[in-house]
Every structure is written in structure tokens, then in C-alpha cells.
Amino acid sequence: MPIFYKPKGKLSKKDQSLARLENFRKEISTDCHIIPLEELCHRFSTDPVTGLTSDQAAEVLKRTGPNMLTPSKKRSEILKFLEALFQGLLWIGSGLCYISVLVLYMTSEDNELDMDNVVLGAVLIIVVLVTGSFMYYQERKSQGIMESFARMVPAKATVIRGGQIEIIQSADVVLGDLIDVKFGDRIPADLRIIHCQNLKVDNSPITGESEPQFRSNSYTDDNYLETKNVAFFSTSVVEGTGRACGDQTVMGHIAGLTARLQPNKTPMAKELHRFMKIISVWAVSLGLTLGITCLILGHTLIETLLFAIGMIVANVPEGLLATVIVCLTVTAKRMASENCLIKKLESVETLGCTSMICSDKTGTLTQNRMTVCHIWYNGTVQDVDFNKMKQKKQQQNETEPEKGDVGKNLIRCATLCNRAEFMPGEERKPILQRQVRGDASEGAILKFVESLNLLGSNFKDLNPKLIEIPFSSSTKYQLSVHNIESDRCLIVMKGAPEVILERCSHILHENNTQIMTPEMLNMCNAACLDFAEMGERVLGFCDYKMEPRYTKDFPFSTEPANFPQRGLRFLGLIALIDPPRPQVPDAIRKCKSAGIKVAMVTGDHPVTAKAIALKVGIITDSTIHQFTTMNSVRKFATTINAPGAVVLHGGVLRNLLQDELDDLLFKHSEIVFARTSPTQKLQIVEGYQRLGEIVAVTGDGVNDAPALKKADTGIAMGIAGTEVSQQAADIILMDDNFASIITGIEEGRRIFDNLKKSITYTLASNMPEILPFLAYSFIAIPLPIGVVGILCIDLLTDMMPAISLAYEKAESDIMLRPPRNPLRDRLVNRKLYFLAYGNLGMLEALGAFFVYFVVMAEHGFLPKTLIGIRDEWESHKNLNDSYGRSWTHHQRQVLQCTCYTAVMMSVVVTQWTNLLACKTRYNSLLKQGKSHICDDIENETSPQEWKIWY
């Protein structure tokens, strides 16, 4: 069969959108960071000194368009509102009500108007308008992803055109522009760096790295996201200056991918759609069956139509949609008090059936603040406990630093060789809670040394800095010279341990300065390796007491340096880490006991990611396979049978085939993905979804936005999260705490259980509403209950008890059950139908008929005389009862209204006992205990809110 293709440029809008989406799914492929600068300048027709001319820039702008994110196509808000309103079975029910009214009005001799169906139709319309408006309001709050991206775009950019510095709108930046950036600027486009000085950028929105990253003009990696000679669009310069040449943007890639992704339909939405479809088929089938039977029994076409419409309306659960909305809203409010802000109501239940959590590391599993955790000196490791260390130091005799405590020398060096400062106005706060101006690692060391306070207050001011060599990515150390002890000067240095050790010829060991022997060097390197394997960042410290000729008046110079920089004395190591949140290990244990798998997906280094995964319990297996090449993955897949835990680098993930990724995800429950790009995070989520998992994703950066939107439940951070991630997510954690997710999962499972209870309770009253119509049609008895009675039951007396079940406490084993499988464990299944219709509903119907016949018998119409008298009952002629008394039409109508009331009250009373029967699904009522809706509401609302309920 031939396949016909549309000519290029003739694709439909849908096909064009899909093509763009597939293009955005691909990793960015460019060589702009690899090719020599001369070739790059030739490609963009620019000059590395003078940049483009104004005419060249205008021509390029006309050809390529403005430097801005392409906005997604917006749908009309009116269409969205109408779409939210015009869906569901209630519109059909209201329409049938008015068709019934119209038919009866046109066929009756006195143009009788059926007010019962008029009222019912109006109420159904009100219910659907209110619930539809509420759903539209909830959806409206979740929009604005592209607006959030746009707010990250810098307004101005400093460019060099024709050798002159100009400040222009960032939208006017073009390919080949020479950009000048400095501290505090936002990057106006993806830039190839051609010259910089101590340039640091905050890449956390793109890569998720918590610390500022050094940039240089040297190509360091084939991966566009890893190389150091590229600065990304919308990231911030936190230190230094630089000049760069413009390129296409990673941010635009992420924005396009996020905007065009279509999130999966939630399990709750699928369940409600399925339930409404089943109810529709059931109602229409009953209506058609009744209509055909009535025609066979000789009823007129008009009577048959009225019977069929009445049966369909009786099957419409008028209050169910409102009950579901209220139940979800109640749970969303409860979760808000637990620091989970729900943006999309259906996400409450989706979180409950989550089977896989893909969690970011920084800020979610960890505290997002660097902290000193270990110090190493004198050949031993000391755990940092501020109180114990301070007490220990105070008990020691005060001695000269050179001759006394080794740790004090290390603290002195760490204090002096530190550029971080506390923010003004923070003096009254505890030291660990103060805000710091400076690098995250230096801020952590500042808080550490200030908490110890071993050197006294103002030690840094009493020993002023004479000269400094700042930290840079090329040297990997920071050095400063200080005036101490009258006119003597001291060199202090910190940096990467390997760099510091290379410059040291001595070591302070056992309170003595000794020559650095190979054994000593090996001991230091072993300590560094131990810290690195724990995922800690290690800094080495050394000092050097200068000769007497180096006084504070000496003309120090850094270029060239006129003071010693080698032959220093090694003091020790300080290890820092972004510590796990204390609640996280317990939360992950609860996840695993509930059958939920947890994977870490982070942009950080594999060693750090693995260490944190071990600390929090994501990895518990003693066998850990760490893959850095494709061959190692494929070899592992063919030769290793034991699963074990897996640490996978993003560079390897990029080259995995879909089947290989699915196989890896299926076989291993403990996986850590490190150095992942935004596209790879999306790839991981889609892989788990292909395996049938219900995936929740946590994230806080722009790089997490595509995965957050594609996940079944996207969970963004409320404190550290970017606006883009919060717009793409369904739930926002206001405390950035992973443990709050467990609360959400428990609430999600609870609401699923409680919704099943509410639906069972609601459907049970359908039988005493349906069977009277069947009896009215088939055995021709006077109608036992009217439409208004049905309306009172469904929208008044049943509503509050059904809503009260939303407040029902979770059953004790709710977090010990495996996650709900949406394909098997349905919201409405055969068991629920049997319980609602075949058990509880039939008992209620028997009670309703018993009351009906008793009322009729008390007024003279025995059960045997009621059968077959429907037509005579509804005629305007007089009718004799079982005792021969004559009843007028008006008297019969009064008696029938009495029956309506009695049957309605019978259903209401039996629904009370039904409420008790629906309180639990698994536990016994005695084990679960009883509660009252007012007690629960009073516990969960403020006094002002409590007044509203009354």
C-alpha cells in the first residue's frame, strides 16, 4: 500500500508541532564550542575584538528574528471555559428532563407542566456550571509556563558593535554579537567564551549544579552542557567578567520541549471518564430496555418515551461529581497544611498510586546548603560537632600556634583564607542561620570557624590581609598574606588537595613541623580519597611563616609574585557536603515498605550522587555497578545475573537505545542517574512510563521542567524552585522536603479509599430510586417516589454524608499495601457494583417498598389491589380502595405525595446504616473506630472557618 507524504511546508499544524517536539527531544548538537575561534568568527562573520557592525547586526536580525523564546500557541480562554463546562453526563440528564417536560406539555390536554423535571433539570445545570467553573479555575492557575520562561530572559545586554560598547534589548542580540558580561549580569544568549577573568556562573537553572561554576576560554568537553567555554542563556554571572560570542540557546530548547509536551491523563481522570461511560451505557441500556418492554406491553409512544427518560434520569448520579470535587478539595486543603500545595486536584489521587519516584538531589534529598562535616589533621578524622569540639578546645591549654594545637592552626588558616562575609543586620541571629555573601563552600567554612570561636572575636580584623591571589579554575587555589604578630607575615592557602600538597614540603604532625615524606603524602591522599568516596568536597589548607624581611610594609606583588609560593607547611583537610535532610532516610524507608521505588536523577557528579544515595537509603544493595561507558553497560547486561544497584552517567544514557534503557530500568530497582541533561531526565520518565509505572518527579530548576510536565505527578520545590518548575508541576512542596511527599502519597491513597466509599454510598441509593420506576412500568402500581424526592436524596441528604467520608481516617495498613495498579484496581469495579447495587441497594429498595405498601395499606389500598391500577390512579375519575371507599383524583395525589415522603425518608434512614457499612474497606469498624465529620472538620479548620460551616 503506498504511503502519501505531504509536500514540505504543507504539514498540518498538528504534524508541525509533533515534528518540533521530536526535534526538541534530541540532545543539542553543535560544534560551536569545539571549533577554533578563528573558524567561529568566520562562520558568524564577526570580529573577536570589534564585533559585528550595526548594519551586519540588523541584517542578521532580519534573517533570524529576535532573540526571544517562541511563545506557545494560546487557546481562547472562552473555549477552555466552555470545554470545562460541556462535559459529563449531567448535561444529558438535564436535557432529557426538559425533553420530558416538553413532551408532556405538548401531549397533555390541559398543557400540564411537569415542575418536578423542570426543577431537576435546573438543579443539574447549576451543579454542572458550578463544578465546571471550579475545574476551569483550577486549570487556569496551572497555566503560564512560557510566561515563566519569558520572565527569566534578561531585558538588556551589553554588546560591542563596531568596536563601540552599546546597551541594547536582549531580544536584539544576534548570532555573532560580541557580548560583555560582568558580575550580576544575566547571560542574554548561549555564549562561546573568548576571554574571561575569574568568571563564575550560576548554572543551577540549567544543569542543577548547586555551586557556581568556573568558566574559561578553553574547550574541555565534547558535551555542550559540560564544557567550560560556554555560558548558558538566562544563567547569572556571580563573579568575574568575560567576553563571548553569541549562539543558539539551551534555554530555548528546554522551553520548547516543555511547552509542547502533552502530560498524561491522570489515573483519576481516566477512572472518572470510565465510570461516567459505564453509567451512561447502563442508564441508556435500561432506558431502551424499558422502552421496548413498554411498547410490547401496549403503552403509547409518549408514555414509553416518558418512562425511558425517567429511568435514564434516575440512573444519573447527580451529586457524584460535586462529591468528588469536594472530596479532592478537602484533601488538597489538608495537604496544604502539610506543606503540599496542590495545583491540580486530580493530582492528589495520582500521587497516591505512584509506584516510582524520580527525585532530584540538591534541595530535595539534601538541605541545599554546604556544611562542614569532617576535618582531618594530625593523621586522624574528626567528625564536626560544634558543641563538643568547642568544649574540647576550651579545655586545652593556650599555647602558641606553631607549638601547640594542630587543629587551631588549621582553624586559623581557614579563618584568614576566606573571602565570605556575613550579611549586615544578621548579628542577632544564630551563626548557622545567618545569610552569607560569598561562595557556598566559603560560607560553610565561615560558619564553622565562627561557631568554634577558638581565635576570639575580630581575629580577621586584627590580622589584616596585605595581598591576595583569588581562586581560579586554572590555579585551583586561593592565597592571601596577612600581618600577624607585630610585623611578621603569614601566608595562608587553600584549594584542591592535590594542588596544595604539591606546594608543601612540610606537614604539621603530632604538634611538630615535619618533612613531608612519601608515607605522609600517601596518608594525606588516602584521606582525600575516603572523603571523595563519601561524596564530600575536600579542601586542603597550608601556611608559611615568612622571613622577618617580609613586613607589612613590604611591596607585595602578584604579577610576578615576589614572595614564596612553594615549600609551604600542610595543615590538614576540611570536608564539606550538602547534608541529607534528616527526615529523608525514614521517608525513603516508608516508600519502600509501601512498594514504591525511588531513583535519583541529578545533574551532580556520580561520586557525590552515589554517596548521598547511600546515606539516604536509595541504594541499599552492597553491590554497586557504576557505568561510565556504553561497552560496560552492554557487557553487564549480557554477563551479570545479580541485579545490584546501578549508577549511570548521563553521557552513557545519551547513547542507550530505548530497549536497552527499558531493560535496565526493568531489572534494577535501585538506580542513580548522574550528570543528566533535561532531555535525559525526560527520557528516564518516559522509560518508566513505558513499563507501566506511575511516575512522580521532583525538581527545582528549569532543567527539570520537561520531566515535571511529562510525569504523572510533577512535584516542584516551593523555596528553591524556579518559577518555571513550579508552573510545570502539579504539586509544590512549600518546605522543599522529600518527606512531605510521603504525606502526599498517604493522603492520595486515603482519598482513593474514601472516594470508593463515597461512590459506594452514593450508588446504593440508586436502587430504591430505579426499582420504583420499574415497578411503576411493569406491574403498573402508582409511582412510589417522585423526581423531587430523588433530587432531595441525591443533592441534599446524600451529599453531606458522602462528603463526610472524605474526612475518614486512613486505615492502619494503607502504607503497607503495594501501589494501586490503575489497570487492575479500578475506582469502580464489579465488587463495588455488586456491593452498591446487589447488596446495600437491594436492602434499601426492600425497605422503601415495605414503607410504600404500609402507607398505602394504612390508607385503604392493600398491596394486591395496587397492582395494575396505575392508569385508573392517574385518571381524573374517582377510584375505590380495598374497602370500597371512593377517592378523588386530588385525594389520591395527596396520598401519593405522602408515599413520596415516606419512601424518601426510608431511603434516608437506610443510608445512615449504609454510611456505617461504607466507613471501612479492609479493617473492621471496631478496629477503625468511629469519628464524626464535625470533629474532623473542627480539628482541621480554624475558628473562622468553623463558623462558615454553621
692-709, pLDDT tens digit by residue? Answer: 898 999 887 777 878 888
Better-scored residue on pLDDT, 776 or 253: 776
Better-scored residue on pLDDT, 905 or 201: 905
Distance, CA of 713 to CA of 352 (rounded, Å): 10
Question: What pLDDT is attached to residue 949?
Answer: 30
Is residue 535's pLDDT more than 70?
yes
Percentage with pLDDT > 90 across the chain: 14
Could you confirm whether 47 is annotated as catalytic?
Answer: no
Over residues 527-534, the mean pLDDT reads 86
Q: Which range, of 215-229, 499-513, 748-762, 809-823, averages the lowest pLDDT?
A: 215-229
Question: What pLDDT is attached to residue 385?
Answer: 67
Confidence of residue 829 (pLDDT cuts 50, 70, 90): confident
Helix or strand or coil: residue 322? helix
Distance, CA of 48 to CA of 191 (rounded, Å): 13
Percentage with pLDDT > 70 across the chain: 78
Please give the C-alpha separations between residue 273 and each of 15, 140, 161, 313, 623, in angstroms, as whole numbers: 27, 21, 59, 18, 45
Query: From the centroid of its chain, how far is CA 53?
Result: 46
Contact (CB, 8 A) for 579 and 370: no
Distance, CA of 813 to CA of 750 (rounded, Å): 11
Helix 406-416 vs helix 440-452: crossing angle, to nearest 10:
130
360, 439, 700, 712: the catalytic one is 360
Query: pLDDT per residue over 860-897, tens digit each?
Result: 999 989 998 988 888 888 999 898 899 998 999 999 99
Confidence of residue 140 (pLDDT cuts 50, 70, 90): low
Instruction: List the Cα angle 780/784/789 in 5-degree steps.
Output: 140
Confidence of residue 26 (pLDDT cuts 50, 70, 90): low
Query: pLDDT per residue over 144-199, tens digit each?
Result: 544 554 555 556 778 888 888 888 877 788 888 888 887 667 777 788 888 877 67
Q: What is the mean pLDDT of the chain?
A: 78
Query: pLDDT per residue over 351-402, tens digit each?
Result: 888 899 998 887 778 877 788 988 999 888 888 865 554 455 455 444 333 4
> Which range, 1-15, 255-269, 346-360, 563-577, has the best average confidence (pLDDT)?
563-577
Is residue 115's pLDDT more than 80?
no
Element spanning 377, H or E: strand 371-377
Contact (CB, 8 A) for 76 and 304: no
Rounded-to-10 torsion of CA 698, 700, 706, 710 = 30
Confidence of residue 89 (pLDDT cuts 50, 70, 90): low
Please give the C-alpha separations between residue 530 and each of 374, 607, 627, in angstroms, as whole numbers: 11, 11, 20
**Residues contacting residue 771 through CB under 8 Å, at least 6 positions apart:** 845, 848, 849
Is residue 238's pLDDT more than 80?
no
DSSP letter string, 201-246 = EE-HHHH--SS-EE--SS---SSTTT-TTEE-TT-EEEEEEEEEEE
Confidence of residue 473 (pLDDT cuts 50, 70, 90): low
Nearest to 470 by CA among 244, 242, 239: 239
Q: Which range, of 399-403, 451-455, 525-529, 928-932, averages the lowest pLDDT?
A: 399-403
Over residues 788-794, the mean pLDDT reads 78
Rounded-to-10 torsion of CA 13, 19, 25, 30 = -120
What is the arrangement of strands in the sheet containing 356-359, beginning at the earlier edge strand? 340-342, 731-733, 713-717, 695-699, 356-359, 597-601, 671-674, 645-649, 624-627
Over residues 247-266, the mean pLDDT reads 58
Residue 486, exposed/middle/buried by CB under 10 A (0-12, 13-18, 19+)?
exposed
For residue 45, give the DSSP letter: T
Helix or strand or coil: residue 779? coil
Question: What pLDDT is attached to residue 182?
Answer: 76
Distance, CA of 211 to CA of 368 (rounded, Å): 10
Q: Are strands 380-383 and 230-231 parallel, antiparallel or unpaired?
A: unpaired
Is residue 941's pLDDT more than 50?
no
Question: What pLDDT is attached to residue 5?
Answer: 32
Question: What pLDDT is attached to residue 772?
Answer: 87
Neighbours of 521 (CB within 10 A): 15
Question: What pLDDT is attached to residue 809?
Answer: 82
Contacts by residues 687-694 (CB-CB < 8 Å, ≥ 24 positions apart): 687/658, 687/661, 687/662, 688/356, 688/358, 689/264, 690/662, 691/662, 691/665, 691/666, 692/823, 693/355, 693/356, 693/597, 694/267, 694/350, 694/353, 694/354, 694/355, 694/356, 694/819, 694/822
Nearest to 697 by CA among 343, 368, 364: 364
Number of H helices, E strands in the chain: 39, 29
Is residue 847's pLDDT more than 90?
yes
